[in-house]
Copies of this chain bind each other. A is one copy, B any other.
């Protein structure tokens, strides 16, 4: 129990100051505002820093400077590859500006929200990025109490007055319908996401608008309920298979459901795209490795993250709060692959 060397504590600023023969203030300035020092002084300090391997204590720095250089990213489900890509974009941008990433995983429940609010309230982070399309209960208050800026990425939050970055979901959905119609499809179906989800609402709205634009009666189209999972796609497939006058063009609100659908209908002997064309949404990596490869809309995941982070960094660097927060909408290109083709004749 006595293999402790007694003073294992790491170097402090005072040690550097002493070694360099300057005050702690000068050391601090050497590290945070080097331009303020004479070149000779700076060199002397830096040499001392290097020689004893000094790194400023982050807690002390945060306490005094009132900022932590940390950003909280609220993720609905960290195990979802989609968010992994977005996180990557966020990480790129933030780390380029010296910020670190604190992960707040909601694990698909709301139980952890109070904990996240504590993180904000305790001043542990300088800013927040929401990927979950909902402002956790009470977070807004904490944010305004502490003056912590926030941005929403991926899922727009209706009526919010902070910056947001999302995809052109509605526009893409309209294009999906137009694309299928151009291939000759008239009996269309939509595999939906959970009703309370913003993305779902936007995509559904786009689907319906697309129908209108093509002059197709809404009652002629089917909407299969779903929840963004493979299983939901498979369930939708069952409904599809047992329906009279099956649709020939199917647009799923995300790739997982599209793939689940694909798998199930093919297992039942339906040929894709000969009998039915399938369009997904998201552009996940595996969409290109299923059979047939999936036509889908490729979301700019990394770019979503990057731009969201950029907006936050801007807010953090104290740019006077613009009167109206920017709402960026990135385009979502259609990637045509083998799951879509001309409508069957008759």
Scan A80-113; emit 1 where CB is below 8 A from any B CB, else 0: 1101110110011001000011110101000010
Contact of A118 among B8, B55, B91, B118 (CB under 8 A): B55
Contact A230 B289 (CB under 8 A): yes
Residues in B with CB closer than 8 Å to A118 are: 55
Q: Which residue of B lies closest to A112 (CB)?
A: B95
A78 within 8 Å of B (CB atoms): yes
Whether A100 contacts B119 by the Cβ 8 Å rule is: yes
Q: Which residue of B lies closest to A118 (CB)?
A: B55
Nearest residue (CB) in B for A85 is B79
Bound Cα distance from A112 to B92, whole angstroms: 11
Which residue on B lies nearest to A80, using beta carbons? B84
Which residues on B sit within 8 Å (CB–CB) of A115?
A: 95
Which residue, A56, A57, A302, has most C-beta atoms of chain B within 10 A? Answer: A57
**Across the interface, do A124 and B58 meet the contact criterion of CB distance under 8 Å?**
yes
Closest B-chain residue to A65, C-beta based? Answer: B59
Indicate the member of A57, A59, A118, A145 with the most B CB atoms within 10 Å.
Answer: A59
* Contact status of A92 and B107, CB under 8 A, knowing A8-B147, A55-B121, A122-B57: yes
A63 touches B55 (CB 8 A): no
* 0/1 interface trace, chain A 280-300, chain B, CB 8 Å (1 if under): 000001100111000000000
In this assembly, does A204 line the interface, its C-beta being within 8 Å of a C-beta of chain B? Answer: no
* A268 in contact (CB, < 8 A): no
B10 A289 Cβ-Cβ under 8 A = no
Is A62 in the interface zone, CB < 8 Å from B?
A: yes
Quick check: B79 and A84 within 8 Å, CB to CB?
yes
Contact B84 A122 (CB under 8 A): no
Q: A63-B63, A115-B95 are in contact. Are A122 and B286 (CB under 8 A)?
A: no
Distance (Å) between the CB of A93 and the closest chain B CB? 12
Q: Are B91 and A78 in contact (CB under 8 A)?
A: yes
Instruction: List residues of A (129-174) whose CB comes within 8 Å of B's CBs.
Output: 145-147
Whether A277 sits at the interface, judged by CB under 8 Å, is no
Whole-angstrom CA separation of A260 from B286 in the bound complex: 10
Q: Write the A1-36 contact mask toward B (1 if CB under 8 angstroms, else 0).
A: 100000010100000000000000000000000000
**What's the nearest-Cβ distance from chain B to residue A111, in Å?**
10
- Residue numbers in B under 8 Å from A339 (CB-CB): none
Pick from A101, A124, A147 the residue with the most CB of B within 10 Å. Answer: A124
A156–B303 alpha-carbon span in the complex (Å): 34
- Closest Cβ–Cβ distance, residue A183 to chain B (whole Å): 23
Contact between A102 and B101, CB atoms less than 8 A apart? yes
Q: List residues of chain B with CB within 8 A of the CB of A87.
A: 78-79, 103
Taking CB as reference atom, which chain B residue is nearest A320?
Answer: B1
Specify which chain B residues have a CB less than 8 angstroms from the CB of A53 in the assembled complex. Answer: 121, 145
Nearest chain B residue, comparing its CB with the CB of A301? B79
Interface CB pairs A-B, < 8 A, 28: A8-B147, A10-B145, A53-B145, A57-B123, A58-B68, A58-B119, A58-B122, A77-B88, A78-B84, A78-B87, A78-B91, A79-B85, A79-B87, A79-B302, A81-B81, A91-B105, A92-B107, A95-B105, A100-B102, A101-B103, A103-B103, A230-B285, A259-B286, A266-B291, A286-B286, A289-B290, A290-B290, A291-B291
> Given A88-B105, A103-B103, list of 4 further CB < 8 A pairs?
A8-B145, A10-B145, A10-B146, A59-B124
